Amino acid sequence: MEQDDLWDEDTARRYDTPGAGMFAPEVLDPAVDRLAALADGGPALEFAIGTGRVAVPLAARGVPVTGIELSAPMVGQLRTKADATALPVVVGDMTTARAPGEYRLVYVVYNSISNLLTQEAQIDCFRNAARHLGPGGRFVVELWVPELRSLPPGREATVWHTEPGYLGLDTYDVLRQHVVSHHVRYDARTSARTGRDERATLHLSPHRYIWPAELDLMARLAGFARESRHADWTGTPFTAESASHVSVYRLPF
């Protein structure tokens, strides 16, 4: 299951959910606010920029944003919102692709670093971030915390979200630290023949989960020191019960 196969034309077309889900103002606005503050007037680089969910509103705040993105279809969807002059994008892998210039901030959000399926690739992502930053530059990672405490012996899956029309579950391979997220969207329609016709679509997304302490070690290997870690973009303290975190790493001056 290759990442560039997952993010195809159909996925790019369906990715944006304006005003809802990860595009909801209460989800998106705090991320943009925090990133704008961390950029502090300097240029920012987004790894796995996708369709511009974060980059477009961040650029609208006056932060010069460049992106790196593996999927050409996702970039095509971004181009319906911002042209290459307003928001330049390098099509390539965030572990190796090089964007021109030097940046004050590099960021990768919404678990995208876990789309890299080996520890080596995730370390390379940190090293690539360091190559793009000047002295004192920051690298920001938004990532979920693996739910292994809710995975008793013998069980390989957890349901992490349910709502009308949607079911989200993860299957775990704890030996390799791999997770496959299953996104099931369904539509119950009345059928004259059966009385009820269930229509469903399934989207699979593979990940390699990273413990917070492991993430900190990856950062050290690339020359970063951790500056802060919070449970969300608004600065909620990170605890043992936190389901996710926003970690900020910084290069020395």
Do residue 133 and residue 32 come from a single domain?
yes
Do residue 120 and residue 138 come from a single domain?
yes
In three-state secondary structure terms, 45 is: strand
CB 89 within 8 A of CB 69: yes
109-157 pLDDT, tens digit per residue, is 999 999 999 999 999 999 999 999 999 999 999 999 988 777 777 778 8
Structural Rg of the chain based on CA atoms: 19
Do residue 155 and residue 241 come from a single domain?
no
Do residue 127 and residue 161 come from a single domain?
no
Do residue 83 and residue 119 come from a single domain?
yes
- Report the CATH number that the domain containing residue 78 is assigned in CATH: 3.40.50.150
157-200 pLDDT, tens digit per residue, is 888 788 888 888 888 888 899 988 888 888 755 444 555 556 78
Do residue 142 and residue 221 come from a single domain?
yes
Provide the number of structural domains found in the chain: 2
DSSP per-residue letters across 180-229: EEEEEEEEEE--TTTS-EEEEEEEEEEEE---HHHHHHHHHHTT-EEEEE
Do residue 78 and residue 182 come from a single domain?
no
Dist. CA 41–CA 122, nearest whole Å: 28
Its domain, for residue 81, covers 3-146+210-250
Do residue 203 and residue 218 come from a single domain?
no
32-78 pLDDT, tens digit per residue, is 999 999 999 999 999 999 999 999 999 999 999 999 999 999 999 99
Do residue 166 and residue 71 come from a single domain?
no
